[in-house]
């Protein structure tokens, strides 16, 4: 995992859901289904890939590469990030 130098930041804000950003998990899942297909997204969720990313166990690049690998489909980082 890549280490990030946080010394340049004065504050770090943690949003535990719905505080600053109102993220709808179902809309996010549907966006991933649109780019990967339902079977692939079900596999991503069954392997807890999204949870590993949310918990900081894998970084964005790892999440992106693993998702493409598990889905067996390569999408651009732009498509992935938008989803």
Q: Please write down the HEC assignment for all residues of the chain.
A: CCCCCCCCCCCCCCCCCCCCCCCCHHHHHHHHHHHHCHHHHHHHHHCCHHHHHHCCCCCHHHHHHHHHHHHCCCCCHHHHHHC
Q: How many CB atoms lie within 10 A of CB 34?
A: 13
pLDDT at 50 over 90: no
Tell whether 14 is covered by a domain.
Answer: no
Tell whether 37 is covered by a domain.
Answer: yes
| pLDDT tens sequence across 12-47 | 777 666 666 667 778 888 999 999 999 999 988 888
Question: Rounded to two decimals, what is the model's pTM?
Answer: 0.70
pLDDT, position 24: 77
Q: What's the structural domain count of the chain?
A: 1
CA distance linking residue 37 with residue 32, whole number of Å: 7
Average pLDDT of the chain is: 86
Tell me which residue range forms the domain holding 29: 25-82
């Amino acid at each position: 995992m890549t280490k990030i130098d946080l010394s340049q930041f004065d504050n770090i804000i943690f949003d535990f859901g719905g505080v600053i950003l109102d993220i709808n998990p179902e809309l996010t899942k549907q966006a991933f289904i649109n780019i990967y297909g339902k079977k692939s997204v079900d596999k991503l969720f069954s392997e807890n890939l999204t949870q590993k990313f949310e918990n900081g166990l894998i970084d964005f690049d790892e999440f992106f590469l693993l998702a493409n690998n598990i889905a067996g489909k390569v999408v651009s980082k732009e498509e992935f990030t938008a989803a």
